[in-house]
Amino acid sequence: MTKNLLLAGILLMVLPWPGVAEEPAGADRLAQGKALAFERSKGNCLACHHIEGGELAGNYGPPLIMMKARFPDRDVLRAQIWDASVRMRSTRMPPFGRHRILTEEEIDLVVDFVLTL
């Protein structure tokens, strides 16, 4: 019985819910998001995070892997990138939105890319 409940819980977390399908980002948006994430004068995610395909990645922040599982709610990930200090006061992650390092559209592009990792 416990095994079945555990399996049901896992399936609820990974399977899409009917009527709640998300539109996947196009290849062009993903390429733009990746470019912003890797660009030192913009996202510069590689300064702190390991990202597959990135060079000279930092190890201060967590590796950006399994992001869809870690952030099933896109809005939560977006809020984290916009200003991580809201959830964790002592973070060293720059508040990309609050400090206007990235525009709102650029944040959306980075979020689209990060969710593919």
The pLDDT score that the predictor gives to residue 2 is 54
The pLDDT score that the predictor gives to residue 3 is 53
% of the chain with per-residue pLDDT over 90? 63
The more confident residue out of 12 and 37 is 37
pLDDT at 99 over 70: yes
Q: Per residue, what are the HEC states of 44-94?
A: CHHHCCCCCCCCCCCCCCCCCCCHHHHCCCHHHHHHHHHCHHHCCCCCCCC
* In contact, 36 and 110? CB cutoff 8 Å: yes
pLDDT at 45 over 90: yes
Q: What is the dihedral of CA 78, 39, 45, 54, to 10 degrees?
A: 120
Q: What domains are there in the chain, each with its CATH number?
A: 26-114 (1.10.760.10)
